[in-house]
Amino acid sequence: MGFREMFYKNKLALAGLAIVVLLFVISLAAPLISPCDPGAIDLQNVLEPPSVEHWFGTDQLGRDVLSRMIWGARISLKVGFVATGLAILIGMVLGAVAGYYGGWVDAVIMRFVDVMLCFPAFFLILAVIAFLEPSIWNIMIVIGLTGWMGVTRLVRADFISLRERDFVWAARAIGANDARIIFLHILPNALASILVAATLGIAGAILTESALSFLGIGVQPPTPSWGNILTAGKDNIDIAWWLSLYPGLAILITVVGYNLLGEGIRDASDPRLKR
């Protein structure tokens, strides 16, 4: 049974894919489907509960929460893709070099990975952000630079198991150099693991960005993000429950969707599960 058949049999994976595609479409179509300007202030409709006019209510400045949620999806997905892409790139290169060459090269890279893993990732991000201006680009870069260690270990393990295969020896026999063998022969066979790591990494990056924005050191107002909408909900939890409920559900559904998709890809690409 092939990858496609295994994936389509997994109902949870299909549910995760549907969530991911829906969020992607919403983020792309934000200018078209947003009912209001997400930054429009209306002091006559402050903290209005959900209604026909404002489906998700309004915040402390009278801004439409649904519109800010829709535009916040674009911010969250941008952070997830850019930060995870950077982490995947760093981890892929270091893991490939460590797994292919082995020896002292492997030892040096993996000891550096061990040192980085000694620091709790979230607190390391907090420490770095404290010295930088809290902007969306700084957040994406910092999350990416602190999230590559797991990818490095994963790619290294794949390269160790693949570097002695017959197709690699055949490539060496015809005179292929190391770069060609690594990137054109071995790496394509490790893409399934990398894709799983990327999918799960996007969920983690979105959750980290939301936590940083909730703490006030992430995406800065008036730019909407799910995290800073939650901050407004925290400040008005006793009178405006919708400011906490809707962005919290959005974060939950997004993270669950990416996790289900990643688990489905991993199960479908595992040869031990194929019949």
Is residue 165, in this structure, part of any structural domain at all? yes
Q: What is the CATH number of the domain that holds 162?
A: 1.10.3720.10
Model pTM? 0.86
Is residue 69 one of the residues assigned to a domain? yes
Let me know: does 230 contact 244? Beta carbons within 8 Å: yes
- 44 occurs within a structural domain: no
Contact between residue 214 and residue 230 where contact means Cβ atoms under 8 Å apart: yes
Q: What is the pLDDT of residues 134-176, one digit of tens each?
A: 778 888 888 898 889 989 999 999 899 888 888 888 888 888 8
Residue 67 resides in a domain: yes
- Residue 182 in domain: yes
Residue 196 resides in a domain: yes
pLDDT tens readout for residues 41-78: 888 888 888 888 888 888 888 888 899 999 988 888 88
Q: What would the pLDDT profile of 194-237 be if each residue is shown by its tens digit?
A: 888 898 888 888 888 888 888 877 777 788 888 888 888 887 88
Phi and psi at residue 64, to the nearest 5°:
-70, 120
Q: Is residue 185 part of a domain?
A: yes
- The answer to whether 155 touches 92, Cβ cutoff 8 Å, is yes
Count how many domains the chain has.
1
For the chain, how far is it from start to end, CA to CA, in angstroms?
Answer: 6
Range of the domain at 208: 3-39+54-273
pLDDT in tens, 6-46: 888 888 989 999 999 999 999 888 888 888 888 888 888 88
Does residue 79 contact residue 136 with C-beta atoms inside 8 Å? yes
Report if residue 46 sits inside a domain: no
